[in-house]
């Protein structure tokens, strides 16, 4: 009996409530054929135990395509296999959108069509490696929506993230949102405490719950807190971007440089930061 993917778990959990493939498709914003394919071959035991058990989560850092570092995906697959991860979370900012950012930029970075084409190639590489994951919209991901809003356009005129980047089975969580797995909060990192060392740990103290986040490229690692009743942690997962790319040139003036790596959370109780050998 093969293990259910996170997407199958999600679909099966909803279908157990609705008893209707069409309703589940509407609830999860996917096609009925996707629901049928996910439910095909599922055993009675898997139906009865859907949603039970805890996860071993691989956490992918900010990639900022087309600035994702060469070899980052191979590194992620290696860590996924090492820790036998059965669920994947992308912490956000898979794309950079330097061409439409609000910051000063080099003339060669102003071609949004060219940037989109290059970024799409890298996002599709990620999608082939991880066709099912939970995705947290970051501040760079949201630049197209922010620019549209400034121009007075309703968000409905834009393609959603799944359509735009061709990632139909990624579970996309809106900006400033979070996903909770085994009582651990996963968020991009641009809400709550920011601009400080150990930002994830400070947010965990505020939330009274373990927190995993990205956003701060030069922060990575795990801090724990315990009292008589509980133990929690805060983990920064670093990033997967190439700081030598032109779009990252703004960081040249800073002594701190991005820490390339990813995170792993084991059944909600243990967090591990894995640095990538460079």
CATH code of the domain covering residue 177: 3.60.21
Q: Which of 18, 36, 52 is the endpoint of a domain? A: 52
Based on the fold, state whether residues 260 and 149 are members of the same structural domain: yes
Based on the fold, state whether residues 11 and 133 are members of the same structural domain: no
With contact defined as beta carbons under 8 Å apart, do 135 and 171 qualify?
yes
pLDDT for 16 beyond 80: no
Query: What is the value of pTM for the model shown?
Result: 0.81
pLDDT digits (tens, 9 = 90+) for 172-220: 999 999 999 999 999 999 999 877 788 999 999 999 999 999 999 999 9
Give the integer Cα–Cα distance in Å for 221 and 199.
11
With contact defined as beta carbons under 8 Å apart, do 118 and 165 qualify?
no
SS percent in the chain: helix, strand, coil, step 5? 35, 20, 40
- For the chain, the domain total comes to 2
pLDDT at 14: 77
Based on the fold, state whether residues 115 and 144 are members of the same structural domain: yes
Based on the fold, state whether residues 176 and 48 are members of the same structural domain: no
pLDDT digits (tens, 9 = 90+) for 30-70: 888 888 888 887 776 666 665 556 899 999 999 999 999 99
Report the chain's terminal Cα–Cα distance, integer Å. 39
Nearest CA among 93, 95, 91, 90 for reference residue 66: 95
pLDDT digits (tens, 9 = 90+) for 229-255: 999 999 999 999 998 888 887 777 777
Enclosing domain of residue 173: 54-275
CA 97, distance to chain mean position in Å, is: 17
Taking CA atoms, 256 is separated from 83, 192, 206, 237, in Å, by 29, 22, 26, 15
Cα dihedral 85, 262, 34, 178, rounded to 10, equals: 110
């Amino acid at each position: 009996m093969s293990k259910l993917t996170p997407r199958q778990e999600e679909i099966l959990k909803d279908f157990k409530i609705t008893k209707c493939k069409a309703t589940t498709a509407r609830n999860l914003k996917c096609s009925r054929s996707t629901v049928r394919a996910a439910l095909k071959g599922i055993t009675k035991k898997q139906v009865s135990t859907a949603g039970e058990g805890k996860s071993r989560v691989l956490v992918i850092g900010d990639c900022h395509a087309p600035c994702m570092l060469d070899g980052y995906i191979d590194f992620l697959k290696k860590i996924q296999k090492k820790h036998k991860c059965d669920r994947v979370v992308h912490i956000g900012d898979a794309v950079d959108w330097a061409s439409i950012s609000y910051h000063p930029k080099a003339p060669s970075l102003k071609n949004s069509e060219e940037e989109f084409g290059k970024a799409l190639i890298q996002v599709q590489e990620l999608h082939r490696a991880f066709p099912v994951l939970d995705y947290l919209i970051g501040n760079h991901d949201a630049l197209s929506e922010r620019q549209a809003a400034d121009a007075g356009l309703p968000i409905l005129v834009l393609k959603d993230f799944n359509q735009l980047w061709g990632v139909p089975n990624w579970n996309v969580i809106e900006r400033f949102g979070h996903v909770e797995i085994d009582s651990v909060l996963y968020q991009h990192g641009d809400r709550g405490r920011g601009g400080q060392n150990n930002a994830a740990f400070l947010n965990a103290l505020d939330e009274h719950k373990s927190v995993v986040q990205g956003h701060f490229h030069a922060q990575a690692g795990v801090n724990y807190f315990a009292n008589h009743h509980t133990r929690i942690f805060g983990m920064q997962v670093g990033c997967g971007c190439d700081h030598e790319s032109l779009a990252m040139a703004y960081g040249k003036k800073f002594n701190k440089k991005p820490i390339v790596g990813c995170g792993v959370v084991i059944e909600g109780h243990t967090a591990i930061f894995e640095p990538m050998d460079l």
